[in-house]
């Protein structure tokens, strides 16, 4: 899988490239619009990550050109702007998703994977992590064969974490998926719900599935922690 990163801030490009390489993607980096267009016209990329504020050629212009050349390539837009007008304009120009700076790399990675339709997009009706079983149709949860009663919010939180086992979810991502934008800035709500979920799912069992990654967020995994 080959990914094009277009970002004029070298350090930001660096972090994204490093992180994606660690996930075994092939990565090319361009720091301005013209360089990006050269790369984009020479190679067929599986995904492009674009910053909109670029020297040489505006991000929106580049986006339109790439889209004209390749209808299929998914494009993720990075932006420091998050006004509604910008969002609408980008989607009209053909962006598939967008991420507002500052973002957590974990979040970028989840979105990249979702766009590449690879890996953790688990569509089966039953999710299994270790001895934990989540039935998406009946919305029921069992651990070691025993039924666990969860509230609606607790269930959606658990199900969301279970869709990408082992992946760290930031509080921002959890709020956006389980609650909505309006709860942004209210990150302690996630902590409280995870604590309650943990009491029901983990407390009675020797193997703890819900993990806290200090500062970053939470993950659900049955792998032994390093």
Residue ranges binding another protein (CB under 8 A): 9, 11-12, 15-16, 18-19, 80-85, 88, 101-106, 151, 153, 168, 179-189, 192-193, 195-196, 213-216, 226
Q: How near is the Cβ of 153 to another protein at its closest, in Å?
A: 7
Pick 102 or 145: Cβ nearer another protein: 102
CB of 42 to another protein, least distance (A): 28
Name the minimum Å distance from CB 107 to another protein: 10
Q: Closer to another protein by CB, 43 or 91: give it.
A: 91
Concatenating the DSSP letter of every residue in 55-111 gives SSS-HHHHHHHHHHH-SS--EEEEES---HHHHHHHHHHT-SEEEESS--HHHHHHH
Question: Of 11 and 117, which CB lies nearer to another protein in the complex structure?
Answer: 11
Pick the closer one to another protein by CB: 85 or 137: 85
Residue 33 CB, nearest approach to another protein (Å): 17
Q: Which is nearer to another protein, 204 or 213 (CB)?
A: 213
30 φ/ψ angles, rounded to the nearest 5 degrees: -125, 145
Strands 26-30, 75-79: pairing kind: unpaired
Q: What torsion, rounded to 10 degrees, do the Cα atoms 49, 52, 56, 62 define?
A: 60
Quick one: which H or E segment has residue 156?
helix 152-163
Distance CA 71, CA 194 (A): 41
Task: Specify the residue, 133 or 170, whose C-beta has the smaller distance to another protein.
Answer: 170
In whole angstroms, the minimum distance from the beta carbon of 46 to another protein comes to 22
3-state helix, strand, coil in the chain (%, to 5): 40, 20, 40
H and E: helices and strands count for the chain = 8, 12
**Minimal distance, residue 11 CB to another protein, in Å:** 4
Question: Cis (ω within 30 of 0) for the bond into 102?
Answer: yes
Rg (CA), the chain: 20
Least distance to another protein from the beta carbon of 189, Å?
5
C-beta closer to another protein: residue 41 or 184 = 184
The dihedrals phi and psi of 61, each to the nearest 5 degrees, come to -65, -45
């Amino acid at each position: 899988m080959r990914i094009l990163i277009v970002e004029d801030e070298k350090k930001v490009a660096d972090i994204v490239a490093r992180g994606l390489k660690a996930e075994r993607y092939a990565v090319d980096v361009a720091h301005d619009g013209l360089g990006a267009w050269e790369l984009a016209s020479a190679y067929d990329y599986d995904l492009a990550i674009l910053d909109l504020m670029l020297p040489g050629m505006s991000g929106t212009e580049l986006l339109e050109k790439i889209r004209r050349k390749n209808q299929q390539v998914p494009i993720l837009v990075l932006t420091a702007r998050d006004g509604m007008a910008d969002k609408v304009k980008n989607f009209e120009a053909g962006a598939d998703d967008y991420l507002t700076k500052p973002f957590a790399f974990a979040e970028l990675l989840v979105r990249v994977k979702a766009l590449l339709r690879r890996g953790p997009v688990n569509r089966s009706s039953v999710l299994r992590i270790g001895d934990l079983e989540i039935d998406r149709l009946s919305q029921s949860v069992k651990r070691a064969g025993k039924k666990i009663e969860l509230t609606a919010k607790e269930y959606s939180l658990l199900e969301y974490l279970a869709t990408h086992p082992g992946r760290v979810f930031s509080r921002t991502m959890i709020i956006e998926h389980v609650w909505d934008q309006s709860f942004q800035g209210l990150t302690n709500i996630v902590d409280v719900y995870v604590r309650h979920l943990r009491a029901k799912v983990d407390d009675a069992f020797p193997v703890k599935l819900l993990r806290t990654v200090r500062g970053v967020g939470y993950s659900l995994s049955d792998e032994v922690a390093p």
